[in-house]
Amino acid sequence: MEEVIAKPIIAKELLESLQTKIEEEKQVIVHCCFPASPFLGNLIRIWNTTYLLDNSSSHKSKLIHAENITIYPNWTAVPFMRDFWFTLIFSGLPKDCTSFDFKEIIPEEGGFFVKSIKRNGSDVYRIKISE
Protein backbone atom coordinates (compact mmCIF):
# COMPACT_ATOMS: atom_id res chain seq x y z
CA MET A 1 0.00 0.00 0.00
CA GLU A 2 1.39 3.38 -1.04
CA GLU A 3 1.74 6.00 1.67
CA VAL A 4 -0.10 9.25 0.96
CA ILE A 5 1.49 12.35 2.42
CA ALA A 6 -1.01 15.09 3.01
CA LYS A 7 0.00 18.56 1.93
CA PRO A 8 -0.14 20.93 4.91
CA ILE A 9 -2.83 23.57 4.89
CA ILE A 10 -1.51 27.04 5.67
CA ALA A 11 -3.94 29.63 6.95
CA LYS A 12 -4.67 32.43 4.44
CA GLU A 13 -3.78 35.07 7.05
CA LEU A 14 -0.36 33.52 7.57
CA LEU A 15 0.32 33.36 3.82
CA GLU A 16 -0.63 37.03 3.47
CA SER A 17 1.64 38.10 6.32
CA LEU A 18 4.51 36.07 4.84
CA GLN A 19 3.97 37.73 1.44
CA THR A 20 4.34 41.12 3.14
CA LYS A 21 7.62 39.95 4.70
CA ILE A 22 8.89 38.75 1.29
CA GLU A 23 8.10 42.15 -0.25
CA GLU A 24 9.85 43.91 2.65
CA GLU A 25 12.99 41.84 1.99
CA LYS A 26 13.34 42.95 -1.64
CA GLN A 27 16.46 44.98 -2.18
CA VAL A 28 17.30 47.90 -4.45
CA ILE A 29 20.64 47.97 -6.26
CA VAL A 30 22.07 51.33 -7.30
CA HIS A 31 25.15 51.43 -9.54
CA CYS A 32 26.69 54.88 -9.07
CA CYS A 33 29.04 56.67 -11.44
CA PHE A 34 31.27 59.42 -10.10
CA PRO A 35 32.29 61.19 -13.34
CA ALA A 36 35.93 61.52 -14.41
CA SER A 37 37.70 64.47 -12.87
CA PRO A 38 40.66 66.49 -14.19
CA PHE A 39 41.96 66.83 -10.63
CA LEU A 40 44.51 64.50 -9.03
CA GLY A 41 43.92 63.10 -5.58
CA ASN A 42 40.11 63.05 -5.58
CA LEU A 43 38.69 61.09 -2.64
CA ILE A 44 35.12 59.94 -2.06
CA ARG A 45 33.24 57.89 0.50
CA ILE A 46 29.66 57.04 1.33
CA TRP A 47 27.97 57.56 4.69
CA ASN A 48 25.70 55.00 6.38
CA THR A 49 23.12 57.79 6.43
CA THR A 50 22.50 57.46 2.68
CA TYR A 51 18.89 56.64 1.82
CA LEU A 52 16.39 56.14 -0.97
CA LEU A 53 13.46 58.44 -0.10
CA ASP A 54 10.06 57.54 -1.56
CA ASN A 55 8.61 60.68 -3.21
CA SER A 56 5.03 59.83 -2.21
CA SER A 57 5.48 58.72 1.42
CA SER A 58 7.85 59.12 4.35
CA HIS A 59 9.53 55.75 3.62
CA LYS A 60 13.34 55.61 3.77
CA SER A 61 15.20 52.61 2.33
CA LYS A 62 18.40 52.10 4.32
CA LEU A 63 21.87 51.40 2.97
CA ILE A 64 22.66 47.71 3.56
CA HIS A 65 25.93 47.21 1.67
CA ALA A 66 28.50 49.19 -0.31
CA GLU A 67 30.77 47.67 -2.96
CA ASN A 68 33.93 49.36 -4.35
CA ILE A 69 33.63 52.40 -2.05
CA THR A 70 34.50 52.91 1.60
CA ILE A 71 32.06 53.94 4.28
CA TYR A 72 32.66 57.03 6.44
CA PRO A 73 35.14 57.74 8.05
CA ASN A 74 37.39 56.00 5.45
CA TRP A 75 38.14 57.40 1.98
CA THR A 76 38.42 55.82 -1.49
CA ALA A 77 40.87 57.24 -4.04
CA VAL A 78 39.26 58.10 -7.39
CA PRO A 79 41.33 57.27 -10.50
CA PHE A 80 42.56 60.33 -12.41
CA MET A 81 40.43 61.13 -15.51
CA ARG A 82 38.33 57.95 -15.33
CA ASP A 83 34.70 57.46 -14.35
CA PHE A 84 34.57 55.70 -10.98
CA TRP A 85 31.78 53.14 -10.41
CA PHE A 86 30.54 51.71 -7.13
CA THR A 87 27.44 49.78 -6.11
CA LEU A 88 25.09 50.36 -3.19
CA ILE A 89 22.43 47.96 -1.95
CA PHE A 90 19.42 49.32 -0.09
CA SER A 91 16.45 47.80 1.71
CA GLY A 92 13.31 47.52 -0.42
CA LEU A 93 11.04 50.36 -1.48
CA PRO A 94 7.26 50.23 -0.90
CA LYS A 95 5.32 48.38 -3.60
CA ASP A 96 3.41 51.53 -4.63
CA CYS A 97 6.55 53.74 -4.89
CA THR A 98 6.88 55.24 -8.41
CA SER A 99 9.87 57.57 -7.89
CA PHE A 100 12.44 58.25 -5.20
CA ASP A 101 15.38 60.48 -4.29
CA PHE A 102 18.90 59.22 -3.59
CA LYS A 103 20.19 61.30 -0.68
CA GLU A 104 23.25 61.21 1.52
CA ILE A 105 22.23 62.93 4.76
CA ILE A 106 25.44 64.15 6.39
CA PRO A 107 26.53 66.86 8.86
CA GLU A 108 28.70 68.68 6.31
CA GLU A 109 28.60 70.10 2.77
CA GLY A 110 28.83 67.92 -0.33
CA GLY A 111 26.42 65.06 0.32
CA PHE A 112 25.39 63.13 -2.80
CA PHE A 113 21.86 63.82 -4.07
CA VAL A 114 19.95 62.61 -7.13
CA LYS A 115 16.33 63.77 -7.37
CA SER A 116 13.26 61.90 -8.65
CA ILE A 117 14.64 58.60 -9.92
CA LYS A 118 11.85 56.80 -11.79
CA ARG A 119 11.09 53.36 -10.38
CA ASN A 120 11.49 50.38 -12.70
CA GLY A 121 10.44 46.73 -12.49
CA SER A 122 13.89 45.33 -11.69
CA ASP A 123 14.85 47.77 -8.89
CA VAL A 124 18.35 48.00 -10.38
CA TYR A 125 19.47 51.53 -11.28
CA ARG A 126 22.45 53.35 -12.78
CA ILE A 127 22.88 56.93 -11.64
CA LYS A 128 25.50 59.64 -12.16
CA ILE A 129 26.44 61.47 -8.98
CA SER A 130 28.51 64.52 -8.27
CA GLU A 131 29.27 66.53 -5.18
pLDDT tens, position by position, 10-49? 677 766 665 555 455 689 999 999 998 887 778 999 999 9
Q: Is the pLDDT higher at 37 or at 55?
A: 55
Q: Return the HEC string of 48-112.
A: CCEEEEECCCCCEEEEEEEECCCECCCCEECCCCCCEEEEEEEECCCCCCCEEEEEECCCCCCCC
pLDDT band at 60 (very low <50, low <70, confident <90, very high): very high
pLDDT band at 77 (very low <50, low <70, confident <90, very high): very high
Residue type, 64: I
